[in-house]
Amino acid sequence: MRFTVFVEPGASEVVPALGLDFRELVGYHQKLGRLKQLQKMVELEFEAAYYMKKYQPDPVLMNTRYGRLISNVLARRETVYEVVGGKSDSEVYAKFLRAMENPQPLSRIESSTGLKEVAVDLFRLPVPKFFERDGGRYITAGVFIAKDPLTGAVNASIHRAMILDEESLAVRLVPRHLYQIHRNAEKAGRNLPAAILIGAPPLVYLCAASSPPFGVYEVEVANALAGGRLTGTDSLLDGVVLPLPVEVVLLGEFIAGRRAKEGPFVDILGTYDIVREEPVFRVESILTRQDPLFYSILPSGLEHILLMGFPREAAIWSVASRTATGVRKVRLTPGGGGWLHAVISMEKTTEGDPKNVILAAFAAHPSLKTVVVVDADVDPDDPLDVEWALATRMQPDEDIVIIKGARGSSLDPSADQVTLQTSKLGIDATRPLSKDKSLFEKARIPFTEH
């Protein structure tokens, strides 16, 4: 396979403000030598997903019969930290949480500069079919933006959307904010106008994947992280400022009372979700940038896991840090789908603190099923290091916490799928303070090759 480099005409050689423009972040990956561009024509059914998985975490840009398709743009933790503008875990988590508490309205521009209208035909967009039992072709990187007709609250969130026909999508709405807004519109007997952004500013993706309180517009949280540098327009969706630039915009409305079968589809754990009757979104217009980059997120891939997990890591870090001093890193691990399993490192000063941190983590992220707390000299990103801590620093009769009958996650196929009840496991894998520290020291070889 040969690769060429993506070059945007007139692109600056200066490192860009990575969170403000999706295309700038792609260019940044290119400058670092990460971006892969396949020269062959790639099929949207299964082949595109194959290359997304093969090259992760590297971004991969593919040519399809309906345009350019890109994935893995936010598949690296270091990229997320660069987009947020921080170096350490604590710095990035703190910035993210401050922005949630201090959302900032966007500067408005007069029109949707750089966007042009194209024919409404969803089948002529480069939308993949990922896995063999998928119900159809799926948009997976769509940021849905809608305004609550009851309260006026504006919400931005990411939802999967299955193509039904040239102008219709079945959209999976979990019982969160857009679900509530949609219900309010239906109760009033009204269709719900909305926009779907594909290839939005990277900071918008990070914030749309989070769960601030209802009424906090996630795009304004992104603008707070951006230092007020995001711009937007209210000329596309009545009464709502949409962030710009964006690669593709689908404008339309959820049709009151209309449902369609959605699924099967692969969730974050790599297993198939069930078929449900979900709301139908009718697309009324499609706008694109010149030669757009159509963004797609591989279901259960590293990018999916990181986007879902990162905001919850910040929430766990916030609560755990108030519970005990010395909390260093929080990782929702890839093996747990970035959702069900956490590893937390800390500088323990008092026995019992790790168990308090375990309880704090379960409170901050109720979907968690397992939490392991390790010392700061153990790398939460290294499964072998974590297993070593379990082997050398944990006693089962003293260091295991089991909670029965708790509410878990619908993503866990082993949980009760009606009540969502599950049991939860916490493990204190930190060294006992009463024992000689040298007994737990990792041996090292004091030599560096020159």
CA-wise closest residue to 83 among 165, 6, 20, 153: 20
What average pLDDT does range 280-292 have in this prediction?
A: 97
Task: Pull the structure tokens for residue 231.
Answer: 């711009």
**281 has which bridge partners?**
169, 254
Structurally, at CATH architecture level, domain 303-434 sits in 3-Layer(aba) Sandwich (3.40)
Q: Give the pLDDT mean for 79-102.
A: 93
pLDDT of residue 111: 66
* pLDDT over 70 at 13, yes or no: no
**Angle formed at CA 269 by CA 266 and CA 272, multiple of 5 degrees:** 30
Q: How would you classify the pairing of strands 154-165 and 138-147?
A: antiparallel
pLDDT exceeds cutoff 50 at 14: no
pLDDT in tens, 255-271: 999 999 999 999 999 99
CA atoms within 13 A of residue 38's CA, in its CB half-sphere = 24
Active-site residue numbers?
267
Its sign, for the CA torsion 62, 64, 68, 69, is negative
d(CA 355, CA 370): 12
Confidence class of residue 419 from pLDDT cuts 50, 70 and 90? confident
Instruction: Return mean pLDDT, the chain.
Output: 93
The answer to whether 122 and 198 are in contact (CB under 8 A) is no
Q: Is pLDDT of 112 > 90? A: no
AA letter at 216: V
**328-357 pLDDT tens trace:** 999 999 999 999 999 999 999 999 999 999
**Hey, where are the domains in the chain?**
1-72, 103-291, 303-434
Residue 163, pLDDT above cutoff 80: yes
Nearest by Cα to 159 from 170, 144, 169, 179: 144
- Please give the CATH superfamily to which domain 103-291 belongs: Electron Transport, Fmn-binding Protein; Chain A (2.30.110.10)
How high is the pLDDT of residue 250?
98
pTM comes to: 0.92
How much is the pLDDT for 16?
A: 47
* Minimum mean pLDDT range among 160-169, 383-392, 409-418, 421-430: 409-418
In the DSSP assignment, the letter for residue 21 is -
d(CA 130, CA 273) in angstroms, rounded, equals 14
Confidence class of residue 361 from pLDDT cuts 50, 70 and 90?
Answer: very high
